Copies of this chain bind each other. A is one copy, B any other.
Amino acid sequence: MTPTITAFERSPDRGQGLARDTRVRWALEEVGQPYDVRLVSFSEMKEPAHLALHPFGQIPTYEEGDLALFETGAIVLHIAERHAGLLSEDANARARAISWMFAALNTVEPPILDRETTRLLERDEAWYDQRMPGVEDRIRNRLGQLSARLGDSDWLDGAFSAGDLMMVAVLLRLKASSGMLDEYPNISAYVARGEARPAYKRAFDAQLAVFTAASTGS
């Protein structure tokens, strides 16, 4: 059965691939699972039909027969558990990859999102220039720890996994709006390895096509 995901009708990042549907598209491309996309507008996201799928009124969602899921992490994990390609056959390696998925979303992404929220909502506040260095220091703290663990390895724990997919996706968010990744050459190279994967490229192109069509269409 072909799953259906939701994505922004018009992505606020203008097709940079930072909206979270790209992460799900990437996972589906890695495992070779075709999918359908239903585009939703910002007003539709707050309506009862979408809230029934996603209680917090966001994208992406994932529908497959009777199953409806929300939260990017849960969707990627669901895909990774049901197809080969994103989690090892070895039970311990699978569990460690899931640790990295949670680490990407819960430990590395929060300070990055704090920076984005600050830029979006507080740019015109008197405190902006004073507050931002502390926010960025919290990001650097995480990047330093990640860089130390990654070392010279290609991926975080042996073969590419759903943990790497999520970590690279989180770091791409920072790359798009900051030069901070350049301070950590091994992390920059790690992100570049992720972006070079054919499955990532297909996912990126697919989300960009939606934005381009919306921008040039009627």
Given contacts A77-B98, A114-B114, A146-B55, contact A71 B106 (CB under 8 A): yes
Interface residues in A44-92 (C-beta closer than 8 Å to B) = 51, 55-58, 66-75, 77-78, 92
Q: A130 — which chain B residues lie within 8 A by C-beta? A: 125, 127
Q: Which residue of B lies closest to A70 (CB)?
A: B99
Q: How many residues of A contact B (CB 8 A)?
A: 46
Q: A75 — which chain B residues lie within 8 A by C-beta? A: 99
- Minimum C-beta distance from A39 to chain B (A): 21
The answer to whether A102 touches B103 (Cβ under 8 A) is no
Interface residues in A97-118 (C-beta closer than 8 Å to B) = 98-99, 101-103, 105-107, 109-110, 113-114, 117
The answer to whether B99 touches A56 (Cβ under 8 A) is no
A175 at interface by CB-CB < 8 Å: no
Given contacts A56-B142, A73-B106, contact A67 B51 (CB under 8 A): no
Q: A113 — which chain B residues lie within 8 A by C-beta? A: 110
A131 at interface by CB-CB < 8 Å: yes
The answer to whether B103 touches A55 (Cβ under 8 A) is yes
Given contacts A56-B145, A110-B113, A146-B55, contact A71 B99 (CB under 8 A): yes
Q: List 5 A-B contacts (CB under 8 A).
A: A55-B103, A74-B102, A110-B113, A114-B117, A127-B131
